[in-house]
């Protein structure tokens, strides 16, 4: 797995990750982003230069073809958690169940903790998203509490991981 910056040439994959019904089932209200929102978020990801951000994930034997993303962003949708970064992952459904989300998140968390970018991360996972819960638990994130996401009125389970508890996802 290679974690790399996004480029504008990756728009087709970014579009699929932002509109696919299965991918969005447990994200916000499940509604796809509009074309302007997709372009805005991709442009923001492309312009990311330093510090926590979102990486494109691609397989070693398929260079230039992202299959998803992993990275960090402030969970502005849950102001009660700020200031903190959320670790998140999103992959195309054809690549679910292959361990790629865990592999990519291990790489991203190792990089972030070794660079001392922060000393704690959270993952906000909607109930019923068993795949993401499994990834979070493999990474060593521990359930903290349940809250409501104000903008979509859906529940989210908050998982936490402190840098001193990071053991490389083992």
| Strand order from edge to edge, sheet including 2-4 | 2-4, 54-58, 66-73, 85-91, 120-125, 154-162, 142-149
Tell me what pLDDT residue 170 has.
Answer: 61
Name 71's bridge partners.
54, 88
User: Do 154 and 120 form a contact (C-beta atoms < 8 A)?
Assistant: no
Tens-place pLDDT, residues 91-132? 999 999 999 999 999 999 999 999 999 999 999 999 999 999
Whole-number pLDDT of residue 167: 87
What CATH superfamily classification does 2-165 receive? Gcn5-related N-acetyltransferase (GNAT) (3.40.630.30)
Q: Which pLDDT score, from 0 to 100, does residue 154 have?
A: 94
Percent of the chain at pLDDT above 70? 98
**Helix or strand run (H / E) with residue 2:** strand 2-4
The strand pairing partners of 156, in sequence order, are 147
State which residues of the chain have pLDDT below 70. 169-170
Packing angle between helix 100-114 and helix 130-139, nearest 10 degrees? 40
Task: Return the pLDDT at 159.
Answer: 98
What are the structure tokens assigned to 112, written together?
């972030």
Integer Cα distance of 57 and 80 in angstroms: 30
Cα–Cα distance, 155 to 58 (Å, whole number): 31
């Amino acid at each position: 797995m290679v974690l790399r910056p996004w480029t504008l040439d990756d728009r087709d994959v970014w579009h699929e990750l932002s509109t696919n019904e299965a991918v969005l089932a447990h994200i916000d209200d499940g509604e796809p982003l509009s074309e302007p929102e997709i372009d805005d978020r991709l442009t923001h990801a492309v312009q990311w230069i330093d510090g926590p951000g979102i990486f494109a994930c691609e397989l070693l034997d398929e260079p230039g073809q992202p299959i998803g993303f992993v990275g960090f962003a402030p969970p502005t949708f849950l102001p009660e958690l700020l200031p903190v970064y959320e670790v998140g992952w999103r992959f195309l459904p054809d690549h679910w169940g292959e361990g790629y989300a865990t592999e990519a998140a291990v790489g991203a968390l190792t990089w972030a903790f070794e660079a001392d970018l922060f000393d704690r991360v959270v993952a906000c996972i909607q109930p019923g998203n068993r795949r993401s819960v499994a990834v979070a638990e493999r990474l060593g994130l521990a359930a903290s509490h349940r809250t409501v996401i104000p903008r979509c009125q859906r529940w989210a389970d908050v998982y936490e991981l402190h840098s001193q508890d990071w053991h490389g996802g083992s």
